[in-house]
Amino acid sequence: MNTREDARDFLVKLHSCISRTFYNNIESTQRGFGFILSYLERANKEVTAGDLSKKLNVSTARIAALLKKMEKNGLITRHTSQKDARQIIVEITPAGIALVDEMREQVLSKIELLFTQVSKEDLETYIRISHQIKDVMSE
């Protein structure tokens, strides 16, 4: 058994089964916005641009560029923290909440379609194995 060769073969198979179709159906201006909007919607505290940078593990410059687009599209508002003028507080707008709801519905529709094509047991096996893989890769 050649472990390196097996790993390469597995990677090729993995790439072939990951579908980008769903994400291609989401309007390009919405890509990258989903996580930020969902995070802001669920947050029960003030969220700073720095918090988002840490959570997404991306540079503050990248976050600033995304937030600028999102603010231009009316999805978020930004303002300086009253506690610390160096901090920018990010808040979701009603339009941002509506987009989160729309994106969530798109995902749920895809999952419902998945349940018509793949058995619940197979999907649960997939999730269980995915968790095992994630745990091993996190070590």
Q: How much is the pLDDT for 46?
A: 92
- Closest C-alpha among 28, 94, 40, 103 to residue 67: 40
The mean pLDDT of the chain is 84
DSSP 80: E
Distance of alpha carbon 113 from alpha carbon 107, whole angstroms = 10
Angle at 91 between CA 99 and CA 33, to 5 degrees: 40
Q: Tell if the pTM clears 0.75, that is, is over it.
A: no
Q: What mean pLDDT is predicted for residues 33-51?
A: 91
pLDDT of residue 97: 95
Confirm if 78 and 49 have CB atoms less than 8 A apart. Answer: yes
Residue 30, pLDDT > 60, answer no
Q: Give 68-112 pLDDT, tens digit per residue.
A: 999 999 999 999 999 999 999 999 999 999 999 998 888 888 888
Task: Collect all residues with Cβ–Cβ distance below 8 Å to 79 and sequence separation of at least 6.
Answer: 88, 89, 91
Could you give all domains of the chain from N- to C-terminal order, each with its CATH number? Answer: 28-138 (1.10.10.10)
Asked if 70 and 96 count as a contact pair (C-beta separation under 8 A), the reply is yes
Question: The tokens of 103 are what?
Answer: 């994106």
pLDDT at 57: 86
